[in-house]
Amino acid sequence: MRKRLNETAFLPSLGALTRTTERNPRAMLAWDASLAWTAILLLALGVVMVYSSSIAMAEASRHTGYRAWYFLARHAAFVIVGLLAAAAAFQVPMKAWQRLAPYLFIAGAVLLLLVLIPGIGKNVNGSRRWLSLGAFNVQPSELMKLAVVLYAASYAVRKAALLHAEQPLRQTIVRGFAPMFAVMVGIGALLLMEPDFGAFVVIVAIAFGILFVGGLDWRLFLGLSALLPIALGAILVAAPYRLQRLTAFLDPWSDPLGKGYQLSHSLIAFGRGEFFGVGLGASVEKLMYLPEAHTDFLLAVLAEELGFAGVIVVLALFVWLLYRAYAIGRQAARLSRPFAALCAHGIGVWIGVQAFINMGVNMGVLPTKGLTLPLLSFGGSGIVANCVAVAILLRVDYENRRLLRGYAE
């Protein structure tokens, strides 16, 4: 898919598709059951761990009414809404998603602007990332991740002829890359004003990951890779608290009650879990020691209660999900469906990068970021966006299988 993104690059022969279907009976199924069950298992594990990790905070907090099941009830409701949204999204053909992509992107940008308006955006712990809708809050940056997947895939298909090395580099930059770069700079600026550096990193990874898979001129990609450390350095200098997080990540034990508090307690949770954990519900760190135990640091509580074995299960589920995203995207490319292929790969980049960052933060190998673990952590907007993303991935696979059946018949 890196060579060229157009209708003829991946046009397979009738015989090749027929042989592929004959060799793979699973292709005759209507949809990828393993992918669906992987997502369901992650959601189910998330419900259990959100309840376990939030009991102490729910019982101690006045705004929850001192009810231990407060976060469980809300998270279960989010999961149900996410599954309903996924069922609806699965019914939408990929051609319709392609037509809707620019409008969804514009709507996401408008929501990011609304968040920054005093009186409209909700400020929590110094960050203005939410829009209050009465009983629940909406986090536009989570919805924007899905919008960026669709928009970047649509853009790469429309500008395919201008992104490749066959074109003069100047033309590739001015007419192919520059418009997308300008748009992403604008979105990045809005995210950094909230501030939401974690979402900024994920969205940039999605956009440029899709452009790279879509055939972006390798010379331009290398140039951007060289400039990336400079850009990140400038962002760190512009906000001193990010530099403080970096130093705390390098040595959390130098200030375990201050800058390194979250990470030090996360590492303690991992250490207590050993191989099989202390038992479900028996975590000590969730007892008001580890902040954000049910959101950003859910994996640490899981590691303490279910041990190394539980973490390996979570890793295996994410690895399989990412493998299926890659395989589905590759098959869509072979079937001359570039937009669907790029959407599948973009969803894989999104879930993979966000899961990697969250796990890295919990394990102390990356600086602290405000990112949740996809499909697992508490958070309505994130759960709904993740469920819709998996539904789109299933839709791509469903349409692939229909084409394969048509060729085989």
Q: How far is CA 69 from the centre of its chain?
A: 27
Location of structure tokens 């009186």: 119
| The pLDDT of residue 161 | 73
Torsion sign (Cα): 314, 317, 323, 326: negative
Mean pLDDT by 10 residues, the chain (409 residues): 45 46 54 94 97 93 88 96 97 97 96 90 79 85 96 91 67 75 88 88 92 78 71 69 70 80 93 95 92 92 97 98 97 95 97 96 87 94 97 97 77
* CA separation for the pair 78, 138 (Å, rounded): 11
Tokens for 286, please give them: 């969730």
- What pLDDT sits at residue 21? 46
- Strand, helix or coil at 216? coil
Task: Show the tokens assigned to 340.
Answer: 């669907």
Q: Using alpha carbons only, what angle is made at residue 57 by residues 60 and 138, rounded to the nearest 5 degrees?
A: 120
Q: What is the pLDDT of residue 406?
A: 76
**In this structure, what token pair is assigned to residue 397?**
């696979």
Q: Which residue has the tokens 């894989």?
A: 348
Q: Is 65 left (phi over 0), alpha (psi -120 to 50) or beta?
A: left
Specify the pLDDT at position 192. Answer: 86
Q: How many CA atoms lie less than 13 Å away from 292 in the CB half-sphere? A: 21
Please state the pTM of the whole predicted model: 0.89
Q: Where are the domains of the chain?
A: 14-408
Characterize 198-231 residue by residue with b for buried, 16 or more Cβ atoms within 10 angstroms of its Cβ, and e for exposed. Answer: bbbbbbbbbbbbbbbbbbbbeebeeebeeeeeee
Q: For residue 121, give the 3-state DSSP assignment.
A: strand
Euclidean distance between CA atoms 345 and 45, whole angstroms: 25
pLDDT for 66 equals 85
Q: What is the pLDDT of residue 22?
A: 47
- The reported pLDDT for the residue numbered 185 is 86
Phi and psi at 369, nearest 5°, equal: -135, 150
Q: How far from each other are the two terminal CA atoms of the chain, in whole angstroms?
A: 27
> pLDDT at position 6, please?
46
